Amino acid sequence: MARSGVLYVHVAQAAARLVAEGHNPTIDNIRVALGGTGSKSTIAPLLKRWKAAHPGTLAQAELGLPAELVLALKGVYEKVQAESAAQCEQAAQAHQAEITVLQEQLQQAFVEHRALLSVQEQQTQALAAATTRSQGLADTVQRQEIVLAGLGSEKLGLEQRLADRAAEVASLTQQLQQARVQFEHYQVSAAQQRTDERQAAEHHRHRLEHELAELQQRLLAQQTRLGELQGQEQRLVQDHDHLQGTLLTTQATLAQSQIAHEHVLLQFTDLNQAHQAMENRYAQGEQRLAETRTNLAVSERERSLLAERLTQTETQLTELATAKQLLLQDNAVLFSQLAELRTKQPNLPSAS
């Protein structure tokens, strides 16, 4: 008759006894050890509780290997996996830090490049303004030269007119002298004729004197105008000299601007080279990242191989445990057969 009330202590004692005998503490074996007492639904949770409290003993019983070896293998696997994950994390952090530094340096280079482009644009605008101003000054100088040439031509014309007026005055003076000679010559003539001629001569003389006075006034006005033109000519010469000096200064400023522009171009070339170097470093960083990823893949592959080897080891251990169980069962069958033979034939020699 089956005993009632199977307790945890009964299951624990039966499981410990089975393990000590080298058997796997299964539900059926526990039930057999308890003399066929207890249902499987009662024994199962109690056996599960005992297995949770004795993992090392359970591993030794199931695999036929020491629990320390199984735990050591699991520890090695977990350590390798943890080291691989740590190396991957460190490599990723180092690469991310290097990428951040390279991005900051590249951003700084872009900022400096934009600043230099702004300076170059300002220098170009200043150069264009100086060129425009120089062109304006050159046009002004050309216009002043044209005005000066016109004034010179006008001066020559006035001098020619003045010479013509002087020749006319000399001719009139000569005519006056001739008239006086004729007057004195005809003075011996008749009185009425002399009087008429004298009156005519006086009238002609007054007219000539009046014309001479007008010519003298015109000559004075022409001389005044000539003085003004000479003063204007001197001022134009001074303006021309001033414009010439301004033009030289502008040309010097333009040369300095060109030198500054060439310096900016050199700086821009240096920045382009620095940018190229940064791109090369970035490419090297990408290559290092690829190598790190390759190493990571290799580590992952090694981890997979270790996991596969561990799985194979566990499978082999399971197979060994199964084979051991089969051998134990065969051994039990052989012992049972031997006992039956001894029962049937008592004269058989006993196994040593």
**Domain end (from 64, 85, 103):** 64
**Domain end (from 46, 64, 82):** 64
Task: Count how many domains the chain has.
Answer: 2
> What would the mean pLDDT of 161-188 be, rounded to a whole number?
82
Q: Tell me the pLDDT tens digit for each residue of 298-349.
A: 878 888 887 788 788 788 877 877 878 888 888 888 878 888 887 877 665 5
Q: Are residues 247 and 275 in the same domain?
A: yes
Q: Are residues 177 and 274 in the same domain?
A: yes
- C-alpha span between 122 and 302 (Å, rounded): 61
- C-alpha span between 277 and 342 (Å, rounded): 94
Q: Are residues 95 and 186 in the same domain?
A: yes
Please tell me the predicted confidence (pLDDT) of residue 2. Answer: 37
Q: Are residues 46 and 80 in the same domain?
A: no
Q: Are residues 114 and 131 in the same domain?
A: yes
pLDDT at 352 over 50: no
At which residue do the structure tokens 């007492």 appear?
37
Contact 52, 40 (CB under 8 A): no
Residue 88 in any domain: the answer is: yes
Q: Are residues 98 and 53 in the same domain?
A: no
Q: Are residues 50 and 76 in the same domain?
A: no
Q: Tell me the pLDDT tens digit for each residue of 270-290.
A: 878 877 887 888 788 788 888
Residue 332 in any domain: the answer is: no
Please tell me the predicted confidence (pLDDT) of residue 15. Answer: 92
Q: Are residues 142 and 291 in the same domain?
A: yes
State the residue range of the domain holding 129: 65-318
CATH code of 150's domain: 1.10.287.2610
Mean pLDDT of the chain: 82
Q: Are residues 195 and 247 in the same domain?
A: yes
Q: Are residues 119 and 22 in the same domain?
A: no
Please tell me the predicted confidence (pLDDT) of residue 75. Answer: 73
Residue 336 in any domain: the answer is: no
Q: Which structure tokens are listed for 92?
A: 């990723």
Q: Are residues 206 and 129 in the same domain?
A: yes
